[in-house]
Amino acid sequence: MLTIELSPKKLEEENVDAKIVLVIAKDLDHKWVRDKEMLIRMGFKGESEEILFMPTSNTVYVGCDSLDTEEVRLAASKALECVKKTNLRSLAIGTYTGECPGQNVKALVEGFLLGSYLFDTYKSKKEPPKLERIVLCLEDYARPNISMESATKALKEAKAIAEATNFSRQIVNGIPNDITPSALASIAQELGELKNVTCKVMDEHFLQENGMNAFLAVNRASIHPPRLIHLTYTPKNPKKRIIYVGKGLTYDSGGLSLKPSEHMVTMKADKSGAAAVMGILKAAATLELPFEIHAIVGAAENMIGGNAYKPDDVLVAKNGKTIEVRNTDAEGRLVLADCLCYAQELKPDLLIDMATLTGACVVALGEFTTGVMGHNEVLKNAFVNASTNSGELSATLPFNRYLKKLIKSSVADISNISSSRYGGAITAGLFLDHFIEDAYKDKWLHLDIAGPAYRENAWGYNPFGASGAGVRANLYWMLDLAKD
């Protein structure tokens, strides 16, 4: 496992196998660039994400357009990418503090730990990287050195955030054969061993007794019973009660509205919302954030069979609202509807649901961006700002009265899909809005992470597969809230 250490030594004094030097804004003249003539000869310009390993000086040079935190994260991960097939066991790097000293130390650590993630669970021949440690020297490339106290705080936060993200990635990457609703509940129960964290797991009998019929219907044809998972982190004197609800479809075949075969591949990722809320609570407990935090997961599997729920069925949700089923592949919102009703019984100060809910959100925003929806503009903007600082891309999608009319039903209170193919991400959010009580509408955010949660290509510091979407954004947001 990669470790990151802090050192008061100068970069050149650190005894390591190689050093990392970031070339900021194509500046080949700063004090740590020892190979300027050779870099020029090799055609190295110092452009963003450009990498060159100079074995004669044992230096990894990485281009950075600026000292923006996201540029620094990318540069750190690219440095690891450059050396991952070498026999180097230790690296050192100085600090590049820019305008916010702690933030860029944090960005370096996050870049290294996120970039070091490797999913090889199902490989018969594993090739773990040789790199064991990175030393972060507190010597700065252009400003006064950062203090050990500030760097230690930044390291602690970055480590907790990155490890929680990698924890979520690991869950999402797990195959449906292994990560069933019960297995997901077992992972949650392990989190119950953390300080101030408890875990309750409710079965199908609890769901039935509590009128969570929409949730039950989705899982009806699976041989694996559903689970309602409720994790709670309770510090002393919490400032707020924040409740997260995560979609935990451990596999989604589409049900009787069966997906085409090419769309079924990657559907193990339909538990990304569940993995994210579990990761968020894990990091919050590690960092001892001053909020009472709940992570509620609706764990289910949407399969086909003689007892599967059907288009034309009418389901009665926990709050008594009736739902006409017109497409069994719009199942995540049914599970979330009941889980949101359950969550509001806990009287949240803030309520956030996270889900790989719609392909329409990917069409609207692309594969790299989370859709943010809700009624409270201040809340949405605060979240988007924190998301940007975390390095995650997000954008708001606006509710409107005309789209709301498209999910009306002639036979029930509401239809589970829109009557139009357009605006599908927003109409899904508006469906969930039917299950948010008036008292909580201004306290609620809906995050559609369908785009960035899982890609079959590496991007930035995200490998092939799960990215842990939403974990960093929410933790940065809560760190901002903790300052208020």
Task: Please compute the mean of the pLDDT values over residues 56-65 and round it to a whole number.
Answer: 96
Say what the pLDDT of residue 125 is: 93
Closest CA relative to residue 245, chosen from 313, 294, 203: 294
What pLDDT score was predicted for residue 73? 97
- The H helix count followed by the E strand count for the chain is 15, 19
Judged against a pLDDT cut of 70, whether residue 169 lies above it is answered with yes
Which H or E element spans position 20?
Answer: strand 18-24
Q: Is the pLDDT of residue 401 over 80?
A: yes
More confident residue, 94 or 127: 94
Segment 303-326 mean pLDDT: 98
Q: What is the DSSP string of 278-292?
A: HHHHHHHHHHT-SEE
Mean pLDDT of the chain: 97
pLDDT greater than 90 at residue 1: no
Contact (CB, 8 A) for 476 and 389: yes
- Report pLDDT for 436: 98
Q: Residue 28: its pLDDT value, please? A: 94
Phi/psi at 156 (nearest 5 deg)?
-60, -45
pLDDT at 101 over 70: no
Q: Which of 271, 333, 380, 455 is catalytic?
A: 333
Which residues, in sequence order, are CB contacts of 424 under 8 Å at separation 6+?
A: 358, 359, 360, 361, 363, 418
Contact of 188 with 279, CB cutoff 8 Å = no
pLDDT for the residue 143:
85
Short-list 82, 63, 95, CA closest to 129: 82
pLDDT tens per residue, range 215-256: 999 999 999 999 999 999 999 999 999 999 999 999 999 999
pLDDT of the residue at 298: 98
Q: How many angstroms from the chain centroid is the CA of residue 226?
A: 23
Least confident of 16-30, 91-105, 120-134, 328-342: 91-105
Residue 260: DSSP 8-state: P
Token pair listed for 390: 């975390």
Confidence (pLDDT) at 9:
95
Q: What is the dihedral of CA 476, 155, 82, 85, to 10 degrees?
A: -120
Report the alpha-carbon distance of residue 482 to residue 141 in Å, rounded. 31
Residue 443 falls in the annotated catalytic set: no
| 329: DSSP letter | T
Average pLDDT of the residues in 443-464: 97
Domains of the chain listed by start with CATH number:
3-146 (3.40.220.10), 176-483 (3.40.630.10)
Catalytic residue among 26, 259, 321, 404: 259
Residue 142 has a pLDDT of: 85
Active site residue 126: no
102: pLDDT confidence band, cut at 50, 70 and 90? confident
Predicted pLDDT at 288? 98
* Residue % of the chain over a pLDDT of 90: 96
Q: What number of residues does the chain have?
A: 484
